[in-house]
Structure 1
């Protein structure tokens, strides 16, 4: 937290390359006032547009590969084009149960060839480019979801809205 604002960062963006840009997304429109998420971008095919290179932890309506625009203060202010990908987010609650699904989830994500990013050890954002490979991912966390020790959501359950 800096100056009363909490920053959510991506330590290892899914598509990290040599030439990238960082922009912020104000999370207030998503019921998270006082929080900003740092989004990694690279230049896209249209001048002034950027492709999202990380898997959003908290931003709704954005996914890996979406094309956005940023304003002069380096804040994402417009979604230009969807990539067709989705983001599944899973939050693991505390205290942890005796059967912890996080290791099984990591293995299922790797086995399915999916990309993911973790924010700490409790929140994971999973890039979903092909829904047909997701069943093993769902299966490994189902017990925790039913038991109330894990929660999931699709990031596209709400539209992107700039502040």
Structure 2
């Protein structure tokens, strides 16, 4: 049964990098295939390759299937540690970036905390403007009420004058009719 690098790393209790370091060109040509799943290409090691890796990881410097001597050199372990160092540096850079971002956020929070005095001044100005608007609104409302009362009064007088003029007109018409009828 073929397995992925991650599955083998979990099975053998080593990192994926350790497994990758064992995958030489000759090993890849014999026992590694590329499998595409959901549009993602994955390296898959055949069952014979799994057995060869198992013997390599359990201390055997040679495998019967490889057919060639592959001594474990200090160079391979140095490469392994260099890869680990690169990964750790990458993680360190990421953590430093996160720390820097958090420090920027904290600085912004501190700067906004230093501004309440300015906010209080602006709040006082706005409250002053609101009180001015309220007082002017009450003045305008009082004027509008006075104007409305005046308009009602004028309308009432117009009706009275209109009715009086109508009555006078009717009287004039009746009197002129009586005067000319004689």
Calculate the TM-score normalised by the size of structure 1.
Answer: 0.23
Q: For the pair shown, which has the larger CA radius of gyration, 1 or 2?
A: 2
| Greater RCO structure (CA 8 Å; 6+ sep) | 1
Q: Which structure carries more helix by proportion?
A: 2
Q: TM-score, normalised by structure 2?
A: 0.22
